Chains A and B, each alone.
Chain A
Amino acid sequence: MRKKIMYSFPDEVLEHVFSFIQSDKDRNAVSVVCKSWCEIERWCRRKVFIGNCYAVSPRMVIKRFPEVRSIELKGKPHFADFNLVPDGWGGYVLPWIVEMAGAYPWLEEIRLKRMVVTDESLELIAKSFKNFKVLVLFSCEGFSTDGLAAIAAGCKNLRELDLRESEVDDLSGHWLRHFPETCTSLLSLNISCLGSDEVSVSALERLVGRCPNLKSLRLNRGVTVDKIANILHRAPQLVDFGTGSYSAELRPDVLLNLAGAFSCCKELKSLSGFWDVVPAYLPALYSVCSRLTSLNLSYATIQNPEIIKLVSNCPNLQRLLVLDYIEDSGLEALASSCKDLQELRVFPSDPFGAEPHVSLTEQGLVAVSLGCPKLQSVLYFCRRMTNAALVTIAQNSPNFTRFRLCIIEPKTADYLTLEPLDVGFGAIVEHCKDLRRLSLSGLLTDRVFEYIGTYAKKLEMLSVAFAGDSDLGLHHVLSGCESLRKLEIRDCPFGDKALLANAAKLETMRSLWMSSCTVSFGACKLIGLKMPRLNVEVIDETEPPDSRPESCPVEKLYIYRSVSGPRFDMPPFVWTMDEERKVMH
C-alpha cells in the first residue's frame, strides 16, 4: 500500500478552522499563505474593515469577498472633526450601498465613520437587506429623521441603532413611532446626538418597554431628568445609560423616584449624557457609583465639590471623561479613589478664553499618572506644561497606548524653563514602548521629531500642529516610525524635501494630511506622477493651484494609498492627477 501524503485539508475543514480567526490582520495573513488558502478565505470572510472608503472601490471589495455580512467604512480624514475639511469634500456612502444592495442581500451590519449618509442611503438600506441588524453612524451627516423613520420601519430585526456624534436634520419628533409594535429586538439605541425636540418620550417608553434585551440606551438632550425614572423602570437590565438633560425643576418626589429607578438597575456600569446638570439631582446616582466602570461627565457643567463627590464614590472606574472643572484637586481625588482607571479625557470648559479660570494644570495629570498604574489612554487639554512633568508622567505610565496633549495656546513653552517641550515628549515616546497614538502641542522644535523617529516604533497615528523648524522634522518621522499609518499635520514649516525623499513611505501608510504647511504644488504633482498607487489630493478653496507658480505652497494636501485610482466624486476645489497621471485637475 502506498502511503499517501496529504497535501492539504479539504476546503470545508479549512473553512471551519478559519471561522475561528476573526481579526482582520490574521485573516489577511491567512490569505497570503497560498492561492488555495486565499481562495477559501475570501469565500468565508464575513467581516470587512475599510479604513479609507477611497482606498478601494465597492466593486473590488464585492468581487474579492462575495459573502460579507458586516462592513465598516471610514470616510473623511480626522481633521474634518475640526472643520479643516471643506463641506462637499466627499465620503459619500450611497455608491457603496447601491453596490451592496445587489451583491450582499444578507448584509447584517453597517458601521460608518465620518461619512455623508443621505436619507436615500438609509431608505435603500431599509429596503435591501432583509436581515439587517446593526447600523452605527459615527460622526456622520447628511441625513434627517425621515431616513431614521425608514430604518425603524423597514428593519424588522434591528438590534443596534447608534448615531453617536452625528449631525441629524430634525424634521419630526415622531420617527420613533415608526418602530413597529412587533419590534422587540433592540439591544442598543444611541440617539444622544439628536436635538431637543426630535424624540417623543411616550414612543420611547413604549419601545424600551417591549425590548427586554436592551442593554445600551443613550437619550438626547430633549429628555429631561424627570422623564428618566419611567424609562429606567422599563429597562432595569441596562448596562449603559446616557441621560438626556439632567435638569428639571427641583422636586423631592422627582429626586426620590429617580434614585429609586437608578437603584433598580443592578447591571448599570456606564453612564453618560448629563447636559445642563442640576447638581441637586446628582445624589440619585450614588447607588450606581460603586458599579460604574465608565462615566462621561464631559457635558456636565458641574464644579467641585460635586465632581469630587461623584468620582470618589466610583472605585471601579476605568474610564472618565470630564470637563476641566474637575481641576487639579479633583484629579488628585481621582488618583486616590480610582486605581483601575485606564482612560482619562479632560476637556476645556472655556476653550477660547484668554485666561484660565479653572485651576487645572500639569499637576493634575502628574497626580493621575502617579496614582493610577493602569492608565493607558489620555486626552488632556490644559494651558501649561513642563518638561519635568512630562518626564514624570512618562516614567509613571510606561503603559500608555494613546497620549494626546493639547496645550491650548499654540507654541507654549515649558512655563518654568521657557524651553521647548521636546524633552518631555521625548520621554513619553522613549518610555511608552507600546504607544500607538500621539498628539503633540506646545513649543516644539525638530528635536522632538528626532525622538519620535528614534523611539516611537509602534506609533500608528501622529497629530502635529504649530511645531517643528524644518523639513528635517518631517523626515525624522517618515523615516523612523515603522508602524506609522496616519499622519496629520497643520501649520508646520514642512515642505517638499522630506515628502519627496520619503514618498515611498506614503504607500505603507493609510493617509497623510498636511494643511497650512509649505508643500509646493510642483511637489504634489511630482508625487502624483511618480506614485501611481497614491492619490494626491490638493484642496484649495480660494483659487486653482495651477493659477499660481508651481513653487507656491498648497493650502491643504491629502495623500492616501489606493488600489482603485483617483475618485470621481471630487468637488471643484479638489485637484488630483487624472487617469493618465499627466495632469492635475
Chain B
Amino acid sequence: METERELNLEATELRLGLPGTSDESAKNTTHRSNKRALPEQPVSANMATTSKNCDQETAPHTKAQVVGWPPIRSYRKNSLQPKKSEAEMSGIYVKVSMDGAPYLRKIDLKVFKGYPELIKALEDMFKFKAGEYSEREGYNGSEFVPTYEDKDGDWMLVGDVPWEMFTGCCKKLRIMKGSDARGLGCVV
C-alpha cells in the first residue's frame, strides 16, 4: 500500500523494550484472501461510473473501492438510489390500437417483465397470434404484427431493442396488419 519514508528517530528513543523489528512486508495480502474488497482487488460494483457516465469520452478507470472510504454511512449511500416503490407507483400506460378494431385499449408496460409476456397479453386482449419473432425476419407466419411508436415518432417493430429501452421510449402500440408491416421487418 503506502510507501514508507524512513525518518531518523535516534534522537527520540521510542521503546518499551520490545524486541524484534516490525516486519512491513508481512503486512501485505498473503493471508487476507477472505477479506472484503482491498485496494489490490478491483471491485466491479462501481455503478456510478458505468451507468451514469456513458456519455464521457474517456472511460474512467474502474476504481477499486476501499472498504469504508469515502467515510459515508451506508444508509446515506442507499438513499442516493431512487426508491424502488416510487418507480412502482407510476405505471407506464400506453394506448394499444389494432387495425380493424373499433376502439383502443390501454396497457401498463410496467407489469410485464419482457417481450414474451407483453406479446402474450396483446394476443389475449385482441385475439390474434403474432407468430415467431426473429431478429432477421421479424414476426413470421402471422397476419398481425406488433409495432410501436417511439420517442422520435417512428414506427418500430416490437422486440428489436432491449426491454428496458423499449419501456422507456414506447409511446403507443399498434398491432398492424401483416401486409402493412412488411417493410418494418427489413430495417437495417
Residues on A facing B (Cβ under 8 Å): 79, 81-84, 165, 167, 193, 196-197, 221-222, 245, 247, 249, 275-276, 298-299, 301, 347-355, 357, 381, 406, 408, 410-411, 439, 445-446, 463, 465-466, 469-472, 475, 490-493, 495-498, 500-501, 503, 516, 518, 520, 522-523, 526, 530, 541-543, 548-553, 555
Chain B positions within 8 Å of A83 at CB level = 67-68, 74
**A471, B70: Cβ atoms under 8 Å?**
no
Can you pick out 17 interface pairs between chain A and chain B where the beta carbons lie within 8 Å of each other? A351-B77, A353-B60, A355-B56, A357-B53, A408-B70, A410-B69, A469-B7, A471-B9, A491-B2, A493-B2, A496-B22, A500-B14, A501-B15, A520-B22, A526-B18, A550-B20, A553-B22
* Least CB separation from A167: chain B residue: B75
**B83, A221: Cβ atoms under 8 Å?**
yes
* Least CB separation from A323: chain B residue: B80
Complex CA gap A353/B71 in Å reads 14
Per-residue contact bits, chain B 32-59, to A (CB 8 Å; 1 contact, 0 not): 1111000000000011110011001000
Chain B positions within 8 Å of A298 at CB level = 76
Chain B positions within 8 Å of A549 at CB level = 23, 26
Chain A positions within 8 Å of B48 at CB level = 350-353
User: Known contacts being A501-B14, A549-B26, A552-B23, is A516 close to B1, with CB within 8 Å?
Assistant: yes
* Cβ-neighbour of B24 out of A197, A518, A550 (below 8 A): A518
User: Known contacts being A516-B1, A518-B27, A530-B16, is A276 close to B7, with CB within 8 Å?
Assistant: no
**A353, B32: Cβ atoms under 8 Å?**
no
* Cβ-neighbour of B31 out of A351, A408, A465, A548 (below 8 A): A548
Secondary structure call for the A interface: loop
- Nearest CB in chain A: distance from B69 CB, A: 7
**A522, B75: Cβ atoms under 8 Å?**
no
* 10 further contact pairs, Cβ within 8 A, besides A351-B77, A470-B5: A82-B67, A275-B83, A348-B70, A353-B49, A354-B63, A466-B2, A472-B7, A548-B26, A552-B23, A555-B32
- Nearest CB in chain B: distance from A71 CB, A: 25
Chain A positions within 8 Å of B53 at CB level = 353-355, 357
- Nearest CB in chain B: distance from A496 CB, A: 6
**A196, B80: Cβ atoms under 8 Å?**
no
B4 at the A interface (CB under 8 A): yes
**B70, A381: Cβ atoms under 8 Å?**
yes
Chain A positions within 8 Å of B2 at CB level = 411, 466, 491-493
Complex CA gap A357/B60 in Å reads 13
Chain B positions within 8 Å of A471 at CB level = 9, 14
Chain B positions within 8 Å of A493 at CB level = 2, 4, 24
User: Known contacts being A221-B83, A475-B14, A542-B34, is A490 close to B52, with CB within 8 Å?
Assistant: no
Complex CA gap A485/B119 in Å reads 67
Chain B positions within 8 Å of A347 at CB level = 72, 76
B179 at the A interface (CB under 8 A): no
Secondary structure call for the B interface: loop
* Least CB separation from A248: chain B residue: B89
**A406, B76: Cβ atoms under 8 Å?**
no
* Least CB separation from B79: chain A residue: A299
**B82, A82: Cβ atoms under 8 Å?**
no
B61 at the A interface (CB under 8 A): yes
Chain B positions within 8 Å of A301 at CB level = 80
User: Known contacts being A348-B70, A354-B63, A522-B20, is A469 close to B5, with CB within 8 Å?
Assistant: yes
* Least CB separation from A79: chain B residue: B68
Chain A positions within 8 Å of B26 at CB level = 548-549, 551-553
Chain B positions within 8 Å of A410 at CB level = 66, 69
* Least CB separation from A193: chain B residue: B75
Complex CA gap A472/B18 in Å reads 17
Most buried by A among B4, B6, B69, B83: B69
Complex CA gap A362/B72 in Å reads 19
Chain A positions within 8 Å of B80 at CB level = 301, 349-350
**A542, B16: Cβ atoms under 8 Å?**
no
Identify the 8 closest CB pairs spanning chains A and B, nearest first: A354-B60, A82-B68, A501-B14, A500-B16, A497-B14, A353-B48, A553-B27, A470-B7
- Nearest CB in chain A: distance from B20 CB, A: 5
**B18, A82: Cβ atoms under 8 Å?**
no
Complex CA gap A331/B21 in Å reads 50
Chain B positions within 8 Å of A84 at CB level = 67-68
Most buried by B among A79, A275, A351, A465: A351
**B70, A541: Cβ atoms under 8 Å?**
no
**B49, A245: Cβ atoms under 8 Å?**
no
- Nearest CB in chain A: distance from B16 CB, A: 4
Complex CA gap A469/B52 in Å reads 37
B164 at the A interface (CB under 8 A): no
Complex CA gap A351/B49 in Å reads 10
Complex CA gap A551/B21 in Å reads 7
**A355, B73: Cβ atoms under 8 Å?**
no
Chain B positions within 8 Å of A503 at CB level = 16
* Least CB separation from A86: chain B residue: B36
* Least CB separation from A547: chain B residue: B31
User: Known contacts being A516-B1, A520-B22, is A541 close to B35, with CB within 8 Å?
Assistant: yes
Complex CA gap A466/B27 in Å reads 15
**B70, A406: Cβ atoms under 8 Å?**
yes
